[in-house]
Structure 1
Amino acid sequence: MRSLFFARPELTWLRVYTFTIFGTSVLVASYFPLYYAQLGFSNTQIGLLYALGPMISLFSNMLWSLTSDRYRTVKKILMLLLLGQIMMTVFLSMSSNFTMIMFCITIFYFFFYPVFPLTDTLAISTAKQYNKNFITIRIFGSIGYATFAIVIGYVLTLIGSKWTLGVSIVIALASLIFSMFVKDRVTDVAKVNLSGIWSILKQKELIWFFGCVFCLAIGLRMNDAFLTISLHDLGATENLIGWSMLASALTEVPIFILLNIYGDRFKELPLLIFASLMFAVRFLLMGLTNSPYGIIGVQMMHGVSFGVFYVTAIRMLTRLIPDSYRATGLALFTVMWSSISGLLSGTFGGMVFEHFGRSNFYLVAMAFSVLACCGFASRYLFREPRGPRDIQRTM
């Protein structure tokens, strides 16, 4: 009883922090592109600015996660990253020239992207410490995303998109304050070295998994980069865009709850196949609709696509990678899920959107989802006859 009493404040602060940190994710993913459009940038330029983040995160995720594993601290790294975000957002708010914004946003992304895999690392470690499911903490990120999506939409409708960066500073500052009350968590880590990471990457199943994740992520990141631009082109206001973000984020919550209760009854590969298929259907419908309200309706498929995929992918990843390399493993996952895919979807997707139109843009996104579905299905049908625990024991 005593331990449970003292556990509650720690879990509460971590949930509050997780709730708040996803507010910055809403801004960067959904409202930064509108801010760039207000400055007069073209879709190709916006795509390039979006691609800068994933390009920087290719090494920033690994750098900060390796540092976290090496010095056995997550909390201090998170606080440093949030402080860097705040400083660079201030500089970004002072710029309007495309070249200068490219420079500032590059450094901003260096601090922004590693926050989320490290937050997941902290949540997983804390949940394991108290024999709870990681989803019981991560679900507050989805609730926070939904809440901030609608609140930010209303706020920016009232004060204008020019205050986007000011709102970002406020949310990042709140996240920094809440992070001070979060208890640091470390595992008994092995000494970080390249040979240890290479032993992880030599797993054939892990390489296949990352390849399928990469294909699936391209379509999702294309949608992330140009969803708000699509809505804006169809006449949606910031307020309506906020409702679109709310519709997608809220659908994650029941999916997370259901998978928390019943997820272990289903094997990972069938769930990943299902999620990939739902992504393909979702992007097909996105390409067919010509109404902002239609897009909001399609966005409600986010839970059965992203929600199912994310929970299952984390579950599979924690099985394939030992605890001693958890932060590094999640960083590798983020590199495939967000960094490399985001780099390609931003540059390539921007050109497709500008030169071939929105409908063809989403057909391309659908094609990548179908490819990922085929990859997961092939592994399920032709997998080697050995169990999951056998794979883990080879580590």
Structure 2
Amino acid sequence: MNRKTTSSPDIGWLRAFTFTIYGTSVLVSSYFPLFYAQLGFSTSQIGLLYALGPMISLVSNLLWSIASDRYQTIKKVLLILLVGQIALTFILSASTSFSIIMAVITVFYFFFYPVFPLSDTIVISTAKQHGIHFISIRLFGSFGYAFFALLIGYVLTQVGSSNTMWVSIAIAGLALGFILFVKDQPTSVAKMDLSGIWAILRQKELLWFFGCVFCLAIGMRMNEAFISISLKELGASENLIGWAMLASSLSEIPVFIYLSFHGEKFKELPLLLLASLLFAVRFLLMGVTESAYGILAIQAMHGVTFGIFYVTAIRMLTRLIPDEFRATGMALYTIVWSSLAGLLSGTFGGVMFEQLGRHPFYLTAMGAALVAFIGFASRYFQKGPGANSPSKFEHKA
């Protein structure tokens, strides 16, 4: 690896941006629900507010990607998105009514969700330009998530959950400052070929894969939306919630590193089977534990569940989809993994958590993970234990 390229100032600023932007992810996924709870919202209302994000992302990700492609800039679009986030967060800080927050958060999500696929795009483009592995930059997102999870927990313990939005403004402002120094990249790596959607959806192998991913994502998004509420229910402080987020983010780092360099030694389907089964075990433990510290320990399983799944799923998609349809396939994957699963888990999960409680909630998440396990297992035995690469993608004009 070229030492000169890896020490480029451009890569340094991009790593700083990646590090910081995941701080906003910590806030939205883990601390925004506490802010809503502090305002007196019910868990079903919180679930609905959470579900709005994935619903909006179905449209916003596509629209901002098209804008990025049309004007051949990622950096300027990211600047607009961050400024929009800061403005909407300021309005949220002064809002207390559920109807007003619902309206404002809808617009906020329009600026929030596209930041991550676009930041991944600029990371992939920059890494390719400098001849390095994109994980060497993306890992700083995991480091940032861990750092801000702990820092935000301590800060909110001191100043209270009512100041969550001001903390969000500060972190988004920091990310905005870093992106100013990042070199813009053309969008050729992530252009979305809409004509390829039909070609992709005709492939049974991909439809099976997306179906399994959807089932697994339901359980993970349910946990993501309500883990902070579960911890609060068990008497945890914002500080302990930060430690739980820290445990999950730190645990994925060694798994990312190992599988990025040695993952090709292992076949994909067995890894996906392992990840699905461990997800089911993780959700079972989350449902039966009665201790906030127990949840803290269980969160350390995040690395061997999400870490294994994430790297292996991306690797499998690169085998399933040729270069000319890869961005389209990745966009569909994001819709399945994040948008559709988040929409269902937020609306359905919020009502379930409120009406039935935490135990049935996590048992349902476990059931979804087991359905994914069965789906991956059926494909594994159908193809044979020796199979690794999926069937070849065929496109007919």
* Structure 2 counterparts to residues 70-149 of structure 1, below 5 A: 70-149=70-149
- Residue 64 (1) aligns with residue 61 (2): no
SS class of match (1:181): coil
* Cα distance change on mapping 1:190 and 1:13 into 2, 3 Å: closer
For residue 18 of structure 1, what is the aligned residue in structure 2?
18
RMSD, aligned CA:
2.3
Shift of 1:267: 1.8
* Structure 2 counterparts to residues 260-339 of structure 1, below 5 A: 260-339=260-339
State whether residues 352 and 361 of structure 1, in contact with CA within 8 Å, keep that contact through their aligned partners in structure 2. Answer: yes
SS class of match (1:361): helix
State whether residues 278 and 305 of structure 1, in contact with CA within 8 Å, keep that contact through their aligned partners in structure 2. Answer: yes
Shift of 1:330: 2.9
Shift of 1:194: 3.1
- Under a length normalisation based on structure 1, what TM-score does the superposition of the two structures give? 0.94
Alpha-carbon distance between aligned partners in 1 of 2:71 and 2:326, rounded to the nearest angstrom: 14
* Structure 2 counterparts to residues 177-188 of structure 1, below 5 A: 177-186=177-186, 188=188
Alpha-carbon distance between aligned partners in 2 of 1:331 and 1:171, rounded to the nearest angstrom: 27
213-222 vs 123-132, greater mean Cα deviation: 123-132
For residue 38 of structure 1, what is the aligned residue in structure 2?
38
Structure 1 regions of 5+ residues with no counterpart?
none
- Under a length normalisation based on structure 2, what TM-score does the superposition of the two structures give? 0.93
State whether residues 187 and 323 of structure 1, in contact with CA within 8 Å, keep that contact through their aligned partners in structure 2. Answer: no
Give the residue type in structure 2 aligned to 1:366: M
SS class of match (1:301): helix
State whether residues 74 and 187 of structure 2, in contact with CA within 8 Å, keep that contact through their aligned partners in structure 1. Answer: no
Alpha-carbon distance between aligned partners in 2 of 1:338 and 1:217, rounded to the nearest angstrom: 7
SS class of match (2:133): coil
For residue 359 of structure 2, what is the aligned residue in structure 1?
359
For residue 224 of structure 1, what is the aligned residue in structure 2?
224
* Cα distance change on mapping 1:348 and 1:150 into 2, 3 Å: same
- Paired residues, what number? 395
For residue 28 of structure 1, what is the aligned residue in structure 2?
28
Shift of 1:212: 1.0
* Cα distance change on mapping 1:390 and 1:367 into 2, 3 Å: closer
Give the residue type in structure 1 aligned to 2:314: I
For residue 242 of structure 1, what is the aligned residue in structure 2?
242
73-82 vs 382-391, greater mean Cα deviation: 382-391
State whether residues 26 and 149 of structure 1, in contact with CA within 8 Å, keep that contact through their aligned partners in structure 2. Answer: yes
- Residue 176 (1) aligns with residue 176 (2): yes
Give the residue type in structure 2 aligned to 1:71: Y
Alpha-carbon distance between aligned partners in 2 of 1:185 and 1:272, rounded to the nearest angstrom: 33
Alpha-carbon distance between aligned partners in 2 of 1:234 and 1:383, rounded to the nearest angstrom: 45
- Residue 207 (1) aligns with residue 204 (2): no
Alpha-carbon distance between aligned partners in 1 of 2:352 and 2:11, rounded to the nearest angstrom: 44
For residue 391 of structure 1, what is the aligned residue in structure 2?
392
Give the residue type in structure 1 aligned to 2:207: I
Alpha-carbon distance between aligned partners in 2 of 1:331 and 1:79, rounded to the nearest angstrom: 21
State whether residues 192 and 327 of structure 2, in contact with CA within 8 Å, keep that contact through their aligned partners in structure 1. Answer: no
26-35 vs 207-216, greater mean Cα deviation: 207-216
Alpha-carbon distance between aligned partners in 2 of 1:108 and 1:235, rounded to the nearest angstrom: 30
SS class of match (2:195): helix
SS class of match (1:194): coil
String of CA shifts for 1:58-98, please: whole Å, max 9, x gaps.
11122222333343332222222111111111111121100
SS class of match (2:245): helix
Alpha-carbon distance between aligned partners in 2 of 1:190 and 1:327, rounded to the nearest angstrom: 5
